[in-house]
Amino acid sequence: MKKLRAAITSVGHYVPEKILSNAELEKMVETNDEWIRTRTGISERRVLENGATSDLAVPAVQMCLKNRGISPEEIDVIIFATVTPDMFFPATACVLQEKIGAKKAFGFDVSAACSGFVYAITLGTQFIETGAYKKVLVVGADKMSAIVDYTDRNTCILFGDAGGAVLLEPSEDESLGILDHRLYSDGTGGDFLYMKGGGSLNPPSHATVDNKLHYIYQDGKAVFKVAVVGMADVSAEIMERNNLKGEDIDWLVPHQANLRIIDATANRMGLDKSKVMININKYGNTTAATIPLCLSEWWHAGKIKKGQNLVLASFGAGYTWGAVLVKWAY
Ligand code: UT7
């Protein structure tokens, strides 16, 4: 029997207009442009002044659907990766469904932090491969500015707001599409990157607010050590499983947390820097949005071609990490 293969058939993205530069952060915390650029690769990031995470997703999805020439009513499934949902419930996927008018779809959120998009696209692939659904929208969006403490220099320099989306459909050509995926998690990472306030462990109270529990906490050094190994390992693993060498890969599409982590992954894969999608300089770490934001920017610039091999790779809170091998289909 012919194998049903899922393919990315459209992409879209959105970044808010307001830029928060390193120079502006210098006025807010004890930091400097030189430190931020050399330690992270970030020069500026975007901030959504009004609205919520779903408002980052709506224009990204609209671009994605317009690009494919289909209406929202044709969407079967919405999978929304985020750590900054509009609310605990309903799911931001349902909020998005209403905002775009995807009346026929069902939707749910995925919580896997910076690996959210890699997890979500792997899930979406299953819905297509089983033959159950034909049009799956996979969204990664985060309004990180809602949970960043702009008095904490360890984290406020890193994060930004953005949204990205891809459409998955059955591939017309079995050799093109999502070819493989590897996902991992390790709960011991929970001590190093978290937001402790607001959930059932620490329901909102004056004390949780006073203790800043509704902000991101990260032990950067600890996370760096495992991220640099984890993202490189899983990228190398997916290449080995598919008998691919560095020269066979056209694009590495890495989660944008730190340029040094991206460089280490590219080195491990034997890739020239010209084959690595990097926009961390402009947007910082936009959590679930980084990978679809890269895909959409590069596709719209005409740089991704049908038949090319892409490795999507991420590492984030949980810990969660993973990689997806894509042979570009459109
Ligand atoms: O996306 C989810 C996964 N997250 C990641 O992958 C992030 C992983 N971690 C990182 O990317 C890096 O650890 C950071 C960029 C967060 C920090 O870089 P680092 O090279 O690990 O710096 P550090 O935390 O070891 O700090 C080095 C020094 C310290 O000063 P001392 O103790 O050497 O005097 C810090 O206090 O830099 C200081 N520092 C800063 N200086 C200026 C920390 N933050 C800043 C800052 N500006 N914003």
pLDDT digits 0-9 by tens, 69-126: 999 999 999 999 999 999 999 999 999 999 999 999 999 999 999 999 999 999 999 9
Q: Tell me, in angstroms, the distance from the centre of ligand 1 to residue 43's CA.
A: 15
How many domains does one find in the chain? Answer: 2
Find out whether the beta carbon of 154 lies less than 6 Å from any atom of ligand 1: yes
Contact 82, 288 (CB under 8 A): yes
Q: Tell me, in angstroms, the distance from the centre of ligand 1 to residue 282's CA.
A: 19
List the one residue out of 251, 240, 225 whose CA is nearest residue 11. 251
What backbone torsions phi and psi does residue 229 show, to the nearest 5 degrees?
-80, -45
User: What's the CATH code of the domain at 82?
Assistant: 3.40.47.10
With 0-12 CB in 10 A as exposed, 13-18 as middle and 19+ as buried, what is 237? Answer: middle
Which residue minimizes the CA distance to atom 8 of ligand 1? 224
> Which helix (DSSP H) or strand (DSSP E) does residue 258 occupy?
none
pLDDT of residue 250 exceeding 70, the answer is yes
The end-to-end CA distance of the chain, in Å, is: 24
19, 117: one domain? yes
Say which residue the tokens 């609209």 belong to. 62
20, 119: one domain? yes
**What is the span of the domain harbouring residue 154?**
5-175
38, 171: one domain? yes
Q: Decide which of 160, 175, 190 is a domain's last residue.
A: 175
Instruction: Check residue 237 and give its pLDDT.
Output: 97
Mean pLDDT of the chain: 97
Q: Decide which of 175, 196, 225 is a domain's last residue.
A: 175
102, 32: one domain? yes
The amino acid at 176: L
How many Å apart are CA 220 and CA 114, to the nearest integer?
14
Collapsing DSSP to helix, strand or coil, 149 comes out as: coil
281, 152: one domain? no
- State how far the alpha carbon of 265 is from the alpha carbons of 100, 129, 140, in Å: 37, 29, 22
292, 198: one domain? yes
> Which helix (DSSP H) or strand (DSSP E) does residue 85 occupy?
none
Confidence of residue 254 (pLDDT cuts 50, 70, 90): very high
Rounded to 10 deg, the angle between the 259-269 and 33-40 helix axes is 20
Q: Decide which of 157, 175, 193 is a domain's last residue.
A: 175
Q: What burial letters (b/e) apply to 98-111, b meaning 16+ CB within 10 Å?
A: ebbebeebebebbe
Find out whether the beta carbon of 261 lies less than 6 Å from any atom of ligand 1: yes
How many Å apart are CA 328 and CA 278, to the nearest integer?
19
Which residue minimizes the CA distance to atom 30 of ligand 1? 154
Put the strands of the sheet holding 320-327 in their side by side order: 177-185, 320-327, 309-316, 251-254
Instruction: Check residue 1 and give its pLDDT.
Output: 59
Q: pLDDT per residue over 129-180, tens digit each? A: 999 999 999 999 999 999 999 999 999 999 999 999 999 999 989 999 999 9
How many Å apart are CA 244 and CA 77, to the nearest integer?
32
